[in-house]
Amino acid sequence: MKTRPASPEDLPFVYECLCELEEIALDFGAFKSIFEANLANTNVHYVIIELDNQSVGFASCHVQGLLHHAGLVGEIQEMYVLPNYRSQGVGEVLIRYFMDLARRENWVHLEVTSNRRRTRTHTFYERMGFVQTSLKFVWRREV
């Protein structure tokens, strides 16, 4: 397995992954604009994992300085592994990639939020050493 930073050429793969993750067809134009802007942002890390030269997973981590932690915090925003490659260590490699980056760059925390219904994913994060410390509340603007 090989990890590498995402590039503009990865847009179709990442778009497909995140539409699957969210179970909706995301607005491609808006998605593309955000993807391109974030590729240029040094506080956003987009990572592709490959197996036999085929992209099989994607993860993103956004880093920011937070007052209430008095330091840098990385938050894994998205992570998706193609169904045929799950339970084969792909997700673990992605998480360890960000854990190593957190150590090198002296982040105070590495955080992840996961939808309440993804209980298998919660077990995975706990196995990787994450501890549930918070609840997330979301306000959605009416469209």
* pLDDT at residue 136, as a whole number: 86
- pLDDT tens readout for residues 50-96: 999 999 999 999 999 999 999 999 999 999 999 999 999 999 999 99
* Residue ranges of domains in the chain: 2-127
pLDDT reading at 135 higher than 90: no
Q: In which band, very low, low, confident or very high, does the pLDDT at 143 lie, cut at 50, 70 and 90?
A: confident
* pLDDT at residue 54, as a whole number: 97
pLDDT, average across residues 94-120 = 95
Q: Is residue 85 packed enough to be buried (19+ CB in 10 Å), middle (13-18) or exposed (0-12)? A: middle
The pTM of the full predicted model, rounded to 2 decimals, is: 0.92
CA 46 – CA 43 distance, rounded (Å)? 10
Q: Which of 19, 4, 11, 13 is nearest to 93 (CA)?
A: 4
Regarding the domain with residue range 2-127, which homologous superfamily does it belong to in the CATH classification?
A: Gcn5-related N-acetyltransferase (GNAT) (3.40.630.30)
Q: Who contacts 43 (Cβ-Cβ below 8 Å, separation ≥6)?
A: 62, 63, 64
